[in-house]
Amino acid sequence: MSDPAAGTISSRLLPLLQQLRQVAGEKDRDRINRYILDTLAKLYGIEDGAIYLYFLHGNQHWLAINAALTHRDGEREISSIDPYQLNVHARQELEGLPHLQTPLQDGTRHLEESQHWQLLVYPLLHKDTPYALIELQRATPFAADELEELDQFIGILQDHLNLVRYAETDTLTGMLNRKTFDENLDRVLASVHECEVENIPASGEQRHLPPEPGLIWLAVMDIDHFKQINDNFGHIIGDEVLILLSQLMRDSFRLHDQLFRFGGEEFVAVLRTGSAEDTVRVLERFREHVAEHAFPLVGQVTISIGYTLVDPLDTPTELVARADSALYYAKQNGRNMVACYEDLRAAGLIGGGQAKATEIELF
């Protein structure tokens, strides 16, 4: 006689494997998150669920909801927040959430139950370090065979997400890479357009909108005289400078700023601030922080920064070219300084033509 439980497992495994095949072909995190929550809701009766991104910023532990599953009036709803658009309102401190703290600390599945519901939480790990959580809840208890299936599903899913994560990040510093920047800048520009389209004059003559609360800025940063560091101390020490600088960036910028390594000694930050004054204050603070830091063997290292306001009418090429022009000005006028494209243009210090990054000697 066949085991009834075995039939139950196989009836779920086939659609589960089919969904895994779909997820394996996906690289877009939003679509992957929707696949995950939709599949688990259909096959395991999950009534509420969430996918959180986990951040350690300074000494504080933070979570941000990346996707959520809810049931309203008998209808299943899945909502998501683009990880490149997350803001402070989508974040919460981990303190006071023990059911989420435990799996992050242990790195293992956590099961919690009450009289009316069961809660299942899986941490997602990269190199044994947690970076996300999957939280699942339903009214009926999870059976042993269901937990075994879910363990396998989450394990395979984690392997795929780690491959996606590997493709998105710079192997040396762990920061987001140039490819990720190129692929997602359009989404940043689109978000600005959605916020500001009503403020564009009907004539369309206003090319660059004035700084307003919540607008976005792009800053390009370059280590001064980095070639000399490599020549004098070797590439291993040069790499250590890049790693330390990336850590200083994480410590200095806010949790919702997006940080990238463009390649070589060049880094990019996408900032959200309330005013032009706030932006220059943030960038000057970081420049000073780097200049005051004692780098092993090398001693003092400085950076030059060029930045520009993100306009909803920009193309990615125009945006980066403007920030590069401001960076070029900083390099040509003493280095170890912060330069704003809009300010330089208004003062007549640079023209409308954009300098090509490939033609600029930044060392």
What's the rounded Cα separation, in Å, for the pair 53 and 347? 43
For tokens 């600088």, what's the residue?
Answer: 245
Q: Which secondary-structure segment (H or E) carries 291?
A: helix 276-292
What's the rounded Cα separation, in Å, for the pair 2 and 122? 32
What's the rounded Cα separation, in Å, for the pair 303 and 8? 61
Is the CB of residue 211 less than 8 Å from the CB of residue 290? Answer: no
> From the centroid of its chain, how far is CA 102?
24
The type of residue at 131 is Y
Strand pairing report for 258-263 and 216-223: unpaired
- 265 among known catalytic residues: yes
Tell me which of 240, 265, 266, 342 is the catalytic residue: 265
The angle subtended at Cα 73 by Cα 71 and Cα 77, nearest 5°, is: 35
Tally of residues, the chain: 363
Q: Where are the beta strands (DSSP E) in the chain?
A: 48-57, 60-72, 75-80, 91-93, 110-113, 118-126, 129-138, 176-177, 216-223, 258-263, 266-272, 303-309, 338-340
The set of catalytic residues is 265
